[in-house]
Amino acid sequence: MGTPLPLISLSPSPTRRSILIRRVRLFVAATITYNVIEAVIAISAGRMASSTALIGFGLDSVIEVASAAAVAWQFSGPDHERRERAALRVIALSFFALAAYVSVESVRALVGADRAEHSTIGLVLAAVSLAVMPVLSAAQRRAGRELGSASAVADSKQTLLCTYLSAVLLVGLAVNSLFGWWWADPAAALVIAAVAVKEGREAWRGDTCCAPGAAVRSPDAGSDANGCCTTGHDVAVQGKAQK
């Protein structure tokens, strides 16, 4: 038997918290701006080249805008912690919508409904996104974890998924242009769809806030399946003193 020790808050200081919130807002604004531009270019280029992969990539950008907008809404007021669950649900639904679209379009491409033509614009866009998105994702994920925001971390995973899609798109367009292997892109996109479903489920449950500095628990303390916090509230460490 032992006496429980007092809870020890590991949340950031008020000043640090304010800085982190401003960073999250900045990263969200940058993500929205980039994805709006990306969506317009990708959808336009996709229509010109009859590329379902490019059009799907553009629609993914639209979904990312919705996800980032949900986080922006969450942090637009002082009650952002109470808005966490709603923001996570929007992000989860965006993952599911992306998975559904990519799956349908991939199957259509595999059965020969559409075969894309060469697209220089698509290749350049995919290469640029492959360089930009990992940086945005990593920066937002670090800020979200330190802040203890599951929605910010979930949105960073949405951005990271765009990196995977960029790589798939780049390889698919390049292989199709060089060797005529039209099936490479839709086959790889099905893997991305499976990842999107997994991330959507985690966002829906709130299992996305694995903050090394803010979500440390003892073996006796409760946690979710990933050992992470599930809301933006302060996380505490609780242990038991041994006799």
Residue 160, pLDDT > 70, answer yes
pTM equals 0.65
CA atoms within 13 A on the CB side of 54: 29
Measure the CA–CA gap between 32 and 40, rounded to whole angstroms.
12
Q: Which runs of consecutive H residues, i.e. helices, occur in 50-149?
A: 52-74, 84-110, 120-147
Domains and CATH numbers, the chain: 13-207 (1.20.1510.10)
Q: Residue 127: helix, strand or coil by DSSP? A: helix
Residue range 58-101, pLDDT digits in tens = 888 887 888 778 877 877 766 667 777 888 888 888 889 888 88
**Are the CB atoms for 65 and 36 separated by under 8 Å?**
yes
**Which pairing describes strands 8-9 and 236-237: parallel, antiparallel, or unpaired?**
antiparallel
Query: b/e for 104-116, b at 16 or more Cβ within 10 A?
Result: ebbeebeeeeeeb
